[in-house]
Structure 1
C-alpha cells in the first residue's frame, strides 16, 4: 500500500470524525453547528494529512501522476484551505456540514482509485505552473458549487411552512444553523470572482503551454472546449451580476452549470477513460 493511499485514508477518517462531531448535536436537538478553536485546529490537521497524501501520490520523482480521483482530491483540498482561511474572519462553521462529508467522500475515492497517468512534459516549468493554477481555480469553483447547492437547499427550506420544533428533523436544524443567505451570497460571489480570475490565468497559461508543445493555443479537445464553456458561463454570470443585479436562484443555476462544465473538462473525462473504458 502506497503512502498516498495511507494518508488519504487517514485524512478521510479525520474528516469523517469531524463531520460526525458537528452533525451529532443536531440529531439531539441542538440548533447550531459550531466547530470552535479545537475544531479548526483538528480541521487544519486533517487538511495537512490530505496534503501529504496528495504530495505522495502526485509529485513523483521527475514526473507528475494524475488521475480523475487525484485531480478532484487536489481541487477540493485547495478549496478546503481557502475555506479554513475564510473561517478565521467569518462565522461560517455551518458550511462544514456539507463540506466535510464531501471532502471525506473525495478522500476515500482518491484512496480507492489512486490510478492515473504520468503527465507528459512534467519537467516543463510552464506546465507545472499551469497545473497549479488550474487546480486552484478548480478548488475555488468546487467550493463555490458546494455552497450553491447548500444555498439552493436553504432557499427551499425558507419557502416551506414553519414547522413545530418537535416535528423538525435534524436536516431542518442543520439548514437553520447555516449562515444567513445574504452572507452566503456575498461569500459565493467572492469565491466566483477570485475563481474566475484564476480560471482566466489557467486559460492563458494553458494557451502558452499548448503553443510551446503543439503550436496551437486552443486545440479542439474536450478539456479546452469544456474549460472555455465554463469560463464563458462564469464570465456571463459576473456580467449579469454587474449589469442586471443577478442573484438568488439565477446565480445559483449559472454557478452549477459552470461547475458542471469544469468538472467535465478533466475529472469527468478521466473517469470515463480510467474507470469505464479502462484506458490510461
Structure 2
C-alpha cells in the first residue's frame, strides 16, 4: 500500500477541516449568520466531503486489495455522519451541530494516515451479502453517531438552561447556546435520527446473526463484537419503547442514547482497535 501517498491525502482533508473550523470561529460573536456565509460554509463542507471521500476510497481500495481497520471504520463513520448532517441541514435547524460534526471528522480523517489497517480477504469483499451488510452497517453507525453528537449538544443546552454549566455572559459559547432551537425541537430531531438509525442497525445486527456464514465465511460466534452489538441494539430498542410507552425524554433519554452509542462503538470500532493496536493481530 502506498502509505506515503495516502498520508498526504489524509492530512489534506484534515487540514481542510481545520481551516473550515478556523473560518467558522472568525465570525464575530453574536452576529447572525448571513445566507451568503451559510452558502459558503455548505459549499466548503461539500468540497471537503469529496476530498475526504477520495481519501477513504484510496485507503480502503488499494492495489493489494480491500484494506480495513478501526481507523478506516472511524473515518468512514465520520464521513457518513457529516454527509447526513450536510443533507439534513438544508431542511432542518441543526446548524448548531456543525462544530461537533466537523471536529469529529477532523480527528477521524487523520487516523488512516497513522494506522494502515488490515488486508481483508478478497473473497469476502466480492460477496454481495458482505457488501450489503457493510454498507448498511456503515450508514447506521454514521447516522447514530450524528444522533449521539446531537444528544451531547442537548446535554450542554439543558445544563446551561438550568445554570449548572458556568458560561461567561456574551461569550461565543453563550451566543452559540442561545442560537440553539428549543429543547423540545432538539428532542424531536434526536428521535427522528434514532428511528432511522435503529431501523438500519436492526437490519445490520440481525443480518449478521442470521447470515454469518454467507457474510463472513464462518458460523456465528458470540465474540465481543457480537455481544456489544446486541447490547447496543437492546439499549436503543429499550429507549424507543420507553419513549413510546411512557414518553421518556430529557436527561434520561440523553444518557440512554450515549450509553447505547458507547456499546455500539465498542462493537464496531473497539474490537478492531484492540486487535490492531493493543494485541497487534491481523
Query: Is 1:130 the equivalent of 2:151?
Result: no
**Distance change (3 Å), C-alpha of 1:200 and 1:163:** closer
**Cα distance in structure 2, aligned partners of 1:90 and 1:256:** 22
**Cα distance in structure 1, aligned partners of 2:226 and 2:62:** 26
Equivalent position to 1:214, from 218, 227, 245 = 218
Query: Is 1:152 the equivalent of 2:155?
Result: yes
* Stretches of 4+ aligned residues off by more than 4 angstroms: 31-35, 161-164
**Residue of structure 2 equivalent to 1:47:** 49
**Cα distance in structure 1, aligned partners of 2:279 and 2:107:** 23
Query: Is 1:117 the equivalent of 2:115?
Result: no
Root-mean-square deviation over aligned CA pairs: 2.2
Is the contact between residue 72 and residue 267 of structure 1 (CA under 8 Å) also seen in structure 2?
A: yes
3-state DSSP class of the match of 1:214? coil
**Residue of structure 1 equivalent to 2:68:** 66
**Residue of structure 2 equivalent to 1:279:** 281
Scaled by the length of structure 2, the TM-score of the pair is 0.89
**Residue of structure 1 equivalent to 2:263:** 261
Is the contact between residue 97 and residue 149 of structure 2 (CA under 8 Å) also seen in structure 1?
A: no
Deviation at 1:95, TM superposition (A): 1.2
**Residue of structure 2 equivalent to 1:97:** 99
Q: Name stretches of at least 5 consecutive residues in structure 2 with no aligned partner.
A: none
Cα deviation code 1:55-114 (max 9, x no counterpart): 11112358321111110110111111111110111232221122111211111223222x
**Distance change (3 Å), C-alpha of 1:179 and 1:109:** farther
**Cα distance in structure 1, aligned partners of 2:99 and 2:202:** 30
Equivalent position to 2:79, from 77, 80, 100 = 77
Is the contact between residue 145 and residue 255 of structure 1 (CA under 8 Å) also seen in structure 2?
A: yes
Deviation at 1:14, TM superposition (A): 1.6
Query: Is 1:29 the equivalent of 2:29?
Result: yes
Deviation at 1:163, TM superposition (A): 8.9
Equivalent position to 1:235, from 234, 237, 244 = 237
Deviation at 1:183, TM superposition (A): 2.2
Deviation at 1:181, TM superposition (A): 1.9
Cα deviation code 1:239-280 (max 9, x no counterpart): 000000011111101110110001000211222222223222
Scaled by the length of structure 1, the TM-score of the pair is 0.90
Is the contact between residue 78 and residue 101 of structure 2 (CA under 8 Å) also seen in structure 1?
A: no
- Number of aligned residue pairs: give it: 274
**Cα distance in structure 1, aligned partners of 2:4 and 2:195:** 38
1:149-188 paired onto structure 2 within 5 Å: 149-160=152-163, 167-188=169-190
**Residue of structure 1 equivalent to 2:20:** 18
Q: Name stretches of at least 5 consecutive residues in structure 1 with no aligned partner.
A: none
Deviation at 1:143, TM superposition (A): 0.9
3-state DSSP class of the match of 1:46? helix
**Cα distance in structure 2, aligned partners of 1:119 and 1:162:** 46
**Residue of structure 2 equivalent to 1:204:** 206
